[in-house]
Structure 1
Amino acid sequence: MIHLISTEKDNLISAKISDKIQKSDVEKIHPLIHNIIEKGQKVDFYFEMEDFTGYTLKGFWEDIKVDSAHISDYGKMAFVGEKKWQEFAAKFTDFFTSSEVRYFDLKDKELARNWIIS
């Protein structure tokens, strides 16, 4: 599940992620990406993952479609998590994008928030 967090930064999509990401969750984010792109900005992301267990199959497929369509539109990405596989996923994302991607432990979420808004 994705729960959006309001933010002051115009080009930042900020969310708390838990349980499994579903197709409807990705569909909720996609228009926000377009709104930022239409303003001529790169899209920054702050994802705080707590009790996050992954994706449903449809959610994973939808996320791949959105990311492949917009990967060059992404700016900074902060992944904040609590599990080793989440850190690995962030590093994997960094490998496939020119975005600046960083992983932070959940205890360092304030540091992550400061980094993503700077």
Structure 2
Amino acid sequence: MLELLPSPKENIVVLKVSGKLTKAHYDQVVPILETKIKQFGKLKLHAEIENLEIPSLQALWQDIKFDVKHYNDFSHIAVVGEPEWLAAMTKLVSPLVPAEIRVFKKEERADALNWLVG
């Protein structure tokens, strides 16, 4: 599931990412993100990861297309979650992404939002 949550500022997108992602999830969220990118230029992303499963192939394809198209459209990314693989994966991909990325534990959610509000 991709769920937009309330945000402290309009240029910050707060997403809850959980369960198995499908193309339908991306079809709902991507137009909102693209509208915000047009409105604000670069966005800041707060992604709360919970019980994430392997996405469907269609969802994976939607994610890749979005990531390629909007490679430079995020200045900061806060990843919030517990699994150790999440921190390891973020560390692995962060040199490939122009955005500044930080990982926060679940109980540090407020710190993650404060960092983005900055």
After TM superposition, the score normalised by the length of structure 2 is 0.89
> 2:62 is matched by which residue type in structure 1?
E
Alignment coverage as a number of residue pairs: 118
3-state SS, counterpart of residue 24 of structure 2? helix
Determine which structure has the larger strand proportion and give its number. Answer: 1
- Greater Cα shift, 93-102 or 64-73: 93-102
Question: Offset at 1:67?
Answer: 0.5
- Pair 1:88-2:85 in alignment: no
Moved segments of 4+, more than 6 Å: none
- Pair 1:65-2:57 in alignment: no
Question: Offset at 1:36?
Answer: 2.0
Mark the CA change 1:17 to 1:40 in structure 2 (over 3 Å): closer, same or farther: closer
Written as runs of structure 1 = structure 2, the 5 A alignment for 1:1-118 is 1-118=1-118
Partners of 2:87 and 2:16 lie apart in 1 by: 16
Aligned Cα RMSD in Å?
A: 1.5
Gaps of 5+ in 1: none
After TM superposition, the score normalised by the length of structure 1 is 0.89
- Greater Cα shift, 83-92 or 99-108: 83-92
Partners of 1:8 and 1:102 lie apart in 2 by: 18
**Alpha-carbon contact 1:49-1:79 (below 8 Å) kept:** yes
Question: Offset at 1:40?
Answer: 4.1
Partners of 2:54 and 2:108 lie apart in 1 by: 21
Gaps of 5+ in 2: none
1:17-42 C-alpha deviation (Å, 9 max, x unpaired): 11112112222221122212222420
**Alpha-carbon contact 1:20-1:55 (below 8 Å) kept:** yes
